[in-house]
Amino acid sequence: MISFFPWSLPGGAWDSSHRSGCLNRGPMTCPSPLCSLKLSWAFRFFLLSLSFLLQLASPVRIFSQSKSPEVFDASYSALVPSGAPFWIGNELGLFEKEGLKVNLIYINSANRVMAAMLSGEIQLSLAGVASVVAAYARGSDPVAIAGAVNKINVSIYAVPEIRVPQDLKGKKMGITRFGGLYDFSASFALKKWGLQPGKDVVLIQIGDIPSLMGALAGNSIQAATLQPPFTIRAGQLGYRELMDLSKSGLEHQNTAVISTRTIIKKSPDTFRKFIRAYSVALSVFHQQKEATLKVMAKYLRGIEPFILEKSYEAYKEWVPEIPYLNHAGMETAIAMTPGIEKGKEIHVSDIVDENFVRELDQKGFYKALYKR
pLDDT digits (tens, 9 = 90+) for 308-365: 999 999 999 999 999 999 999 999 989 887 666 655 789 999 999 999 999 999 999 9
Same domain, 53 and 78: no
pLDDT at 65 over 50: no
Q: Are residues 139 and 262 in the same domain?
A: yes
Position 48 scores a pLDDT of: 53
* Predicted pLDDT at 351: 97
Q: Are residues 210 and 286 in the same domain?
A: no
CB 124 within 8 A of CB 132: no
Q: Count CA within 13 A, CB hemisphere, residue 325.
A: 28
167 and 18 within one domain: no
Average pLDDT over residues 236-265: 94
In a domain, 86, yes or no: yes
Domain boundary among 64, 81, 98: 64
Q: Is the dihedral of CA 249, 245, 182, 160 positive or negative?
A: positive
Report the CATH number that the domain containing residue 300 is assigned in CATH: 3.40.190.10
- Regarding whether 231 and 300 lie in a shared domain, the answer is no
Gyration radius (Cα) of the chain, Å: 31
Query: Would residue 41 count as lying in a domain?
Result: yes
**Residue that terminates a domain, selected from 247, 269, 287:** 247
Query: Is 113 part of a structural domain of the chain?
Result: yes
CB 219 within 8 A of CB 231: no
Q: Does the pLDDT of residue 67 top 80, yes or no?
A: no
Boundary residue ending a domain (223, 247, 271): 247
Structure confidence at residue 40 (pLDDT): 52
22 compared with 99, residue with greater pLDDT: 99
Residue 313 in domain? no
Report helix, strand and coil shares of the chain as percent, to nearest 5: 50, 15, 35
For residues 129-153, give the mean pLDDT. 93
How many beta carbons lie within 10 A of that of residue 139, not counting itself? 6
Distances (CA, A) of 31 to 27, 28, 165: 9, 8, 106
Is residue 48 situated within a structural domain? yes
* Domain of residue 167, residue span: 155-247
Could you give the number of structural domains in the chain?
3
Per the domain annotation, does 236 fall within a domain?
yes
